[in-house]
Structure 1
Amino acid sequence: MTDQKVLQLGWRLESLTALRDLGADVTCVLAAADDDKRAGLLDDARTVPVQDPADPGSVLAGLERYGLSVPDFDVICAPGENPLLAAAVLAGGRGAMAPRDALLLRDKDLQKRRVRAAGVPVADSRPVVHARELAGFARRRGVLKPLDGTGTVGVLAWHGEEERLDLARRLTEQGAGGPWLAEEWVEGSEVHVDGVVRDGEVVFVSVGRYLQNALEIRGGGVFASRVLHPLAYDKLYARARDLAQRSSAALRHRDGVFHMEAFEQDDRLVFGEYAGRIPGGEIAAMVRHQHGVDLDVEWARALLGLAPSATPSVAPTWFGWVSLFTPGGVLESCPGEDEVAGCDGVRQVSVRARPGDLRPDPAKASNVPAALAVVEGADEEQVVQRMRRMARWFPEESVVRPEDARGTGTDTGGRGTGAGTRGTGTGAGTRGGGLTHLPDPPGVAPSSGYTHVVSGRGRLAAIAGQMAFDTEGELVGPGDPVAQARQVFTNMERCLAAAGATFDDVVKLTYYVTDIAFVPDVLAVRDEFVGTRRPPASTVVQVVALYRPDLLLEVDALALTDTE
């Protein structure tokens, strides 16, 4: 236990609780918008509302207003990424890290230079001061990102030389100012490595894999990940620990917790980004359930100079976390915590959205979920299935109305419109992007599991027949229609994202199966990806053979996106 006086920059309930449980006297500098979140944990004398806890000037002015000053505190810290540098600057060498070291954990260019110099595999990159300089970064695919950005906020991607040159022209015409980091595209599935480092040694790691890579999520899809069980992925854990050790050493991060992004490529991991902070979303909760290690407690113990307590106790089941979104607009209602908790496997839930909130388009703001949930399953497949179902169910059960219709009584139930309660619209329904579903046109028997007529206006995307091949071209699930169907729809999801679309934009699916008996299993997998309240039009065809004799099914799609 300790009696140190701690100044925390930025609100995080879990870290505050961990510090107080260890005996620290905590004062929190928090954004004014977070002041209502303290829920009695801190009194007015222990909170300093400011405009921006990541701005040293804002913090100093706030302290002065409340009769406080930096020398009043033994420790100045930040559990999040944005205020990290401000905490180091204000501490003046008395904090958890020096300003120069904190800078390495914030500036993407300086960070990649350090890990590259240490021999860590990392994408080619260069700083870009003026947008026109992007024309000289001759990479077929790549991204342009803010030097001190968080997640995918402000990140722009290109796919081909023409798109890269067009991006440079558009930013120049807009007068957009840098500097940015231009970086080549990294192939491979995206993983996050979260852990604890003490005295320069990585003492704990957890490895999770996103359902989709972060930039694919921005185009629509499911923002979620699952912890990879260490007993099933022992080789990956060994590679992740090695990458974390080398990266931590290169970035001079010797004590604390970390959240690192990397990409799987055959038998190696390619460095993405490294943050010396507690992970966001519900990753920390997922890690606690899976490994029995509390990253908030480990962060607090490192900060206060106490020995680590991380002793992993791995659960036999699997865990994941999922972000849940409503459609964009003014929120009328959405499932509450009890309803979300009633979904299969949910172990923890937090609903953040409130009626009256102006909810952003989830395709443009994947960092602002309406709710978060931790999900448990018997194995990896069950966890993924449950998260996908929840991600489809939540927006369908939400009611919003357009921003320009405040108070007009025009509701949008999930992806459809209609006057009525949450997600209960039947018959014709219009999605926010303009798709109209007619499940029972006059004179035609009602459909079940598909829609007879889907119409709309927008930009057409035609997705070629997708087969059950992984990213290396290897067949997934020989002889198994369920495994093949799941790979087919995963590939379809990625193709739609590349076209700026999601399954909500699909107007028609065509299935080709070698045995009509596969159809119930295929449709069950489809329902993990496609909203079942307003499914697309569909055609099922049994064929004699497909491209290869070991293929059991193929699916193609037509989609209409909102943009003409």
Structure 2
Amino acid sequence: MHVVLVGARPEAILGLHRGGHDITLLYEDWEAARMDNYPALKDCITRKCAVDSYRHVESLWSAIDHLKPLPKIDAVLTVAEFAVVPAAILGNLVGALSVDPTVAMACRDKAIQKSLWADSGIPTAKFAVLPDAADLDEVEHLLALAELHPPLIIKPLAAGGSENVSVIESAAEIAAHVADNPHMRRLLAEEKISAPEWHFDGIVRDGKITNLMVSRYVEPLLCTKRGEPTRSIAFSPSRNPDLYAEVNGFATKALEALSHSVGVFHFEAFGQPGAFIASELACRPGGCLLGAVAEKTIGVDLWGAATQVFTGNEPQVREVDPDLVHGWVNLPSIPGIPNMVREEDLTAIDGVGEVVVTPQGRMMYDMSETASTGIGYTTVSARDETECRRVMDEVIATVRAIHEKTRFELAEPQRDACPVDGSTE
């Protein structure tokens, strides 16, 4: 098959190449460095074209025109969150196999999917779309109609990684938020649910879930707003058959409501077994090191599978150790100082597996910006969930100790410059 792939994700490229497919790659500028880091990818790609943004259909559409003459396009696929809807529309325009645009939209727009869930009787948070969040009178009216009362969560309707998600205590705060972020004039407001947060990841074919991993965030994703890193622990399928059976049923209904019948999914929910509440669902693999944890927990490369289920190729399945529990943790950062954490600082910790860390000396960013902001990630493995969390605690403590040492050393010249008598004038 001739596949137009939007986004340079190595696992997706390699998966298509293993299937013998002809690959045309459309990629954004920042992904050029990713391809340089994986020289083998160049031999997998027949042709490629940079695009200004794969969020824009016209950019993708013009790119394939600029690459003419092209073989007949059999499929237009992506694993990039912001390309989900544009790639689906492009596939529809050129008559190629792709995600249906209405399904893509339902898996991107949080209000659309919550409406579909509510119509199907699937528990989800009460919500309201605020078409003009700067209009305080309209905001108060819409919140009252939806019976929404602060504290509330406000967020963009189709962002990612908890970007620009905030907790507000009054309608007036919403208007103030928009004043600081004028690009967020249209917002989703929803009730704040105080409960454990989960994510369910897997593959769906012909409406049936064929592969599933059940995980729970150690703290809800909003923990990043107070400077805590995101982390997640996957449950062993062999040790938790009842949990997996329940989640399979719940996720199947949620997928059916969105008409998402083929592909991969990343489904977030709140609550407890017996009382799950649907939060958000995406028709692409989850980020961070979730893919690496899935390979260790259920033996499936979800990034490769995201394209293989469309091309008819069977996803590769590896053997897993049923006696181990796996998870991933985001490495915390302190904004405004350089990262000095090295890979070997973390691999020295018993239980740490894969490590991805920002190069030494690079300035760090504020973790409150998105759930994925930090200096990198590690996977961890242990004999049970408690030990898995203990390893994560040690990883976080190690990173923070290095950050504090760096901050202390950077501040030393300022202390030396203070008056000898200790005065502040």
**Alignment TM-score, normalising by the size of structure 1:** 0.66
- Secondary structure in 2 matching 1:322: strand
For residue 195 of structure 1, report the CA deviation from its aligned partner.
1.0
Q: Compared with structure 1, are the counterparts of its residues 417 and 363 closer, same or farther at alpha carbon in structure 2 (3 Å cutoff)?
A: farther
Q: Compared with structure 1, are the counterparts of its residues 290 and 42 closer, same or farther at alpha carbon in structure 2 (3 Å cutoff)?
A: closer
User: What is the CA–CA distance in structure 1 between the aligned matches of 2:375 and 2:69, rounded to whole Å?
Assistant: 36
- Secondary structure in 2 matching 1:32: coil
- Secondary structure in 2 matching 1:77: strand
Whose strand proportion is higher, 1 or 2?
1
The answer as to whether partners of 1:54 and 1:83 remain within 8 angstroms in 2 is: yes
User: What is the CA–CA distance in structure 2 between the aligned matches of 1:200 and 1:252, rounded to whole Å?
Assistant: 8
> What's the counterpart of residue 420 of structure 2?
none
Paired amino acid for 1:225: S
Q: Compared with structure 1, are the counterparts of its residues 314 and 249 closer, same or farther at alpha carbon in structure 2 (3 Å cutoff)?
A: farther
> What's the counterpart of residue 149 of structure 1?
159
Q: Compared with structure 1, are the counterparts of its residues 360 and 263 closer, same or farther at alpha carbon in structure 2 (3 Å cutoff)?
A: same
Q: Deviations over 1:354-396 (max 9, x none)?
A: 2453321123343233221111111111110111211221243
Superposed, 1:203-218 pairs within 5 Å as: 203-218=210-225
> What's the counterpart of residue 248 of structure 2?
241
Alignment of 1:393 onto 2:392: no
> What's the counterpart of residue 529 of structure 1?
none
The answer as to whether partners of 1:152 and 1:214 remain within 8 angstroms in 2 is: yes
Q: Deviations over 1:52-105 (max 9, x none)?
A: 122222223444444466x64221111122101111111115232221121111
Structure 1 residue ranges (4+ consecutive) displaced by more than 6 angstroms after TM superposition: none
The answer as to whether partners of 1:239 and 1:269 remain within 8 angstroms in 2 is: no
Q: Deviations over 1:129-153 (max 9, x none)?
A: 1222332313232211111111310
> What's the counterpart of residue 170 of structure 1?
176
Alignment of 1:282 onto 2:282: no
> What's the counterpart of residue 130 of structure 2?
128
- Secondary structure in 2 matching 1:358: coil
- Secondary structure in 1 matching 2:161: coil
Q: Which has the larger radius of gyration?
A: 1
- Count how many residue pairs are aligned between Structure 1 and Structure 2: 399
Q: Deviations over 1:473-505 (max 9, x none)?
A: xxxxxxxxxxxxxxxxxxxxxxxxxxxxxxxxx
Superposed, 1:300-339 pairs within 5 Å as: 300-307=307-314, 313=320, 315-331=322-338, 333-336=340-343, 338-339=344-345
13-22 or 303-312: which moved more?
Answer: 303-312
Paired amino acid for 1:334: V
User: What is the CA–CA distance in structure 1 between the aligned matches of 2:348 and 2:51, rounded to whole Å?
Assistant: 38
Q: Compared with structure 1, are the counterparts of its residues 68 and 367 closer, same or farther at alpha carbon in structure 2 (3 Å cutoff)?
A: farther
For residue 249 of structure 1, report the CA deviation from its aligned partner.
0.8
Flag structure 2 segments of 5+ consecutive residues without an equivalent.
417-425
Whose helix proportion is higher, 1 or 2?
2
The answer as to whether partners of 2:211 and 2:298 remain within 8 angstroms in 1 is: no
Superposed, 1:40-189 pairs within 5 Å as: 40-43=39-42, 46-67=47-68, 72-92=72-92, 93-131=95-133, 132=136, 133-136=138-141, 137=143, 138-158=148-168, 163-171=169-177, 173-174=179-180, 176=182, 177-189=184-196
The answer as to whether partners of 1:298 and 1:310 remain within 8 angstroms in 2 is: no
Paired amino acid for 1:75: A
User: What is the CA–CA distance in structure 1 between the aligned matches of 2:124 and 2:237, rounded to whole Å?
Assistant: 25
- Secondary structure in 1 matching 2:164: coil
Alignment of 1:373 onto 2:372: no
Q: Compared with structure 1, are the counterparts of its residues 226 and 265 closer, same or farther at alpha carbon in structure 2 (3 Å cutoff)?
A: closer
Q: Compared with structure 1, are the counterparts of its residues 178 and 239 closer, same or farther at alpha carbon in structure 2 (3 Å cutoff)?
A: farther
Flag structure 1 segments of 5+ consecutive residues without an equivalent.
399-411, 430-564
**Alignment TM-score, normalising by the size of structure 2:** 0.86
User: What is the CA–CA distance in structure 2 between the aligned matches of 1:68 and 1:277, rounded to whole Å?
Assistant: 30
The answer as to whether partners of 1:76 and 1:88 remain within 8 angstroms in 2 is: yes
Aligned-pair RMSD on alpha carbons?
2.5
User: What is the CA–CA distance in structure 1 between the aligned matches of 2:104 and 2:381, rounded to whole Å?
Assistant: 35
Q: Which has the higher contact order (CA 8 A, sep 6+)?
A: 2
- Secondary structure in 1 matching 2:377: strand
Q: 1:343 aligns with which of 343, 349, 374?
A: 349
